[in-house]
Structure 1
Amino acid sequence: MARTFDHGGGVRSIRVPIPDNPLGYTLVYVLDTGRGPVLVDTGWDDAGSWDTLVAGLDACGTGVREVAGVVVTHHHPDHHGLCGRVREASGAWVAMHAADAAIVRRTREARPERWFAYMAAKLTAAGAPQEQVAPLRAAARGGRELPRFSPALPDREIVPGELLDLPGRRLRAIWTPGHTPGHVCLHLEERHPGELPGQGRLFSGDHMLPGITPHIGLYEDPDDATVTDPLGDYLDSLERVSLLGPAEVLPAHRHAFTDAPARVRELLDHHEERLRGLLALLATPLTPWQLAERMRWNRPWADIPPSSRTIAVSEAESHLRHLLKQGRVEQVPGSGPVAYAAV
């Protein structure tokens, strides 16, 4: 399988592998500008991924030392991970939305014991069994280290609605929170090189992918008690992207595709169907953990490892938050852990 692809019009992509992950790779885009190549995302911080990125840039007729900047769609390590190495090799600037930049700063400063204690408390409140919570409590007491991805602090802010400072290109930032609070899509406001009908091309990050849906969990911040609605943010962001009407979407995983409005409709329908399914489950009061156990995943609940179960519960909670906001579910008075029921 080719590691690079020329999308035309000064845009190429490199398949940068994600170790031990079913997604397989991140599509890192190389955008020619008047000051040198600019990357959209960089890939996972791994030696093999780095070697692939470097070789891919060479195959694109440039090199890692020539990179002028990196535009990060969001802070997750398969997108942001190699930013530090790219900047160290080239002196490139790194740009990110302020909401995700705040998460990067918090990650760099986080005390492991506080994070483990926070996650243990969250899972306990969600109704998780002791075998799920006990390792986190032990880690909080024992000073176990968090896994580190060496997230690079950005030195430029992506401002929604504004054109990025890229000579010779028109790349506009579109704020699309949901997958993360600071996720951005990037609208290349230029005629499609293949003359496809529509308004330019959209680098969609993880916001809109072909054939799969991104994880929508809670925005986790131990210092912020704000009750957010990530799923509501995501659905609103989908509507915003649909109105752009891009000729082609260049996502961070899988492959490029056309007809963004049709894909938006599919995603909106998927989430509405899922919400209806959850309401049916909530005919009987359930805690978030019990709801996650009964939801449909890509494998049976018994086969899902503990770390992935934590992610699944976060997704269940994000759907509950949205249903609460809509008045379609309510908390069961006196329940502990808190259970929810359809109205």
Structure 2
Amino acid sequence: MKTRRRPYAEQRPQDLGGGVWSVPVPIPGSPLGYTLVYAVESPKGPVLVDAGWNHPEAWQALSGGLATLGIDVSTVRGVVVTHFHPDHAGLAGQVREASGAWIAMHENDAAMVRLMHDFAGDEHTAFQSDMLRRAGADPSEARAASGERPAPPAVPDRELRDGDLVDLPGRKLRAVHTPGHTPGHICLHLEDADRLFTGDHVLPDITPHIGIYPYDREDVDPLGDFLESLERVGELGTLDALPAHEWIFPDVAARAAEIRHHHEEKLDALLALLAGQPEPQTIWEVAAMMTWNKPWDTLPPMLRGMAAGEAAAHLRTLEARGRIRRLPDVELVRFQALDS
């Protein structure tokens, strides 16, 4: 079954067959429009894949949407979260309050959630501002790009690792660790139905944000991890993909290959940009030269900050591959292409 992306107002809960349902849950103020939350049937109560943004309208859409499908939210057995972002994990705590459900996510993202709870709002703002300054943003832009942080999601009760089976009696729902978009992003393979819940890892039309935070980290390579994860998902074969945004589509392997190709082209273009510069470039300067869905000059400060995070992830991958080097500098991070 395949559906096309429509505005949220045109979305409806759907019975997808085989004991799987989808419920569109709005994301207030986001161009994405909504998150597709899935419910998977089991003899001991349904398990949700993701939960949606923590907002009264979203809660009404989730609980009401489940009700139209004949599912009372109080019967939900558990919520398995593909990753900790607020449009996926935000309502998990409220579902737990309503039903006593457990919440599960990968151990790496669980660690991120605990860190968020320990990190006060003013500390977060200062951290972001300093990170942006080291990337090359001027002080006023660094302050404007910091923005407010959503409330952190509920701390999970259960932690998953790659290959673990979710507690879903009578079904086989296996966690596939697919880091990149977040350190603990997981896809979920419904092995008894040849379906893959892809979260944000593989989407049918757009590609997920792959950033690195702080921008100047040298001990991780999120884009490299993402590209490897795409290969791994491709090895699962021509499964039907049930993504968290846009629409359901067939042959996840083919789409994963397209996304890998897109990022390799982007890496080649970035390397050519750097090779053409006579001086080393800051992350902010690199981001301003790259191609985005809107011209850099028209991007609001927060989106510039996200673009810089994505530029930093691409720079880190080129560095890990030995194609560029960073210059030692305490105050600013600069990169330079190496002779090929």
Tell me if both proteins adopt one fold, taking TM over 0.5 as the criterion.
yes
Q: Deviations over 1:209-262 (max 9, x none)?
A: 00100000014599xx66210000000000111111142010000111112221
Equivalent of residue 45 in structure 2, options 36, 40, 43? 36
C-alpha deviation, 1:91, in angstroms: 0.6
Alpha-carbon contact 1:29-1:41 (below 8 Å) kept? yes
Alpha-carbon contact 1:249-1:258 (below 8 Å) kept? yes
- In the other structure, the counterpart of 1:64 is 73
Equivalent of residue 314 in structure 1, options 309, 317, 320? 309
CA distance in 1: counterparts of 2:215 and 2:73, whole angstroms: 34
Alpha-carbon contact 2:177-2:186 (below 8 Å) kept? yes
Equivalent of residue 217 in structure 1, options 199, 211, 217? 211
SS in 2 for 1:204: strand
CA distance in 2: counterparts of 1:206 and 1:36, whole angstroms: 25
Equivalent of residue 110 in structure 2, options 97, 101, 106? 101
Mapping 1:1-343, distance limit 5 Å: 1-134=10-143, 147-191=149-193, 200-220=194-214, 227-283=219-275, 284=277, 285-332=280-327, 337-343=332-338
Could you say if the C-alpha distance between residues 333 and 79 of structure 1 is closer, same or farther in structure 2, counting changes exceeding 3 Å? closer
Q: Which 5+ residue runs of structure 2 have no aligned equivalent?
A: 1-9
CA distance in 2: counterparts of 1:88 and 1:292, whole angstroms: 43
Q: Which 5+ residue runs of structure 1 have no aligned equivalent?
A: 140-145, 192-199
Work out the percentage of aligned pairs sharing the same amino acid.
Answer: 52
TM-score, structure 2 normalization: 0.91
CA distance in 2: counterparts of 1:281 and 1:45, whole angstroms: 41
When the two chains are superposed, the root-mean-square deviation of aligned CA atoms in Å is 2.0
Could you say if the C-alpha distance between residues 40 and 136 of structure 1 is closer, same or farther in structure 2, counting changes exceeding 3 Å? closer
Alpha-carbon contact 2:187-2:198 (below 8 Å) kept? yes
Could you say if the C-alpha distance between residues 121 and 107 of structure 1 is closer, same or farther in structure 2, counting changes exceeding 3 Å? same
SS in 2 for 1:20: coil
SS in 2 for 1:280: helix
C-alpha deviation, 1:111, in angstroms: 2.1
SS in 2 for 1:275: helix
C-alpha deviation, 1:133, in angstroms: 2.2
Alpha-carbon contact 2:86-2:152 (below 8 Å) kept? no
CA distance in 1: counterparts of 2:85 and 2:98, whole angstroms: 21
Alpha-carbon contact 1:202-1:246 (below 8 Å) kept? no
CA distance in 2: counterparts of 1:2 and 1:281, whole angstroms: 42
Instruction: State the one-letter code of the partner of 1:269.
Output: H
Could you say if the C-alpha distance between residues 121 and 34 of structure 1 is closer, same or farther in structure 2, counting changes exceeding 3 Å? same
Say how many residue pairs are matched: 326
- In the other structure, the counterpart of 1:143 is none
CA distance in 1: counterparts of 2:33 and 2:261, whole angstroms: 27
SS in 1 for 2:28: coil
C-alpha deviation, 1:331, in angstroms: 2.2
SS in 2 for 1:172: strand
TM-score, structure 1 normalization: 0.90
Could you say if the C-alpha distance between residues 335 and 108 of structure 1 is closer, same or farther in structure 2, counting changes exceeding 3 Å? closer
SS in 1 for 2:227: helix
The range that moved more, 160-169 or 230-239, is 160-169
CA distance in 1: counterparts of 2:173 and 2:215, whole angstroms: 31
Instruction: State the one-letter code of the partner of 2:36.
Output: L
Alpha-carbon contact 1:104-1:153 (below 8 Å) kept? yes
Alpha-carbon contact 1:181-1:219 (below 8 Å) kept? no
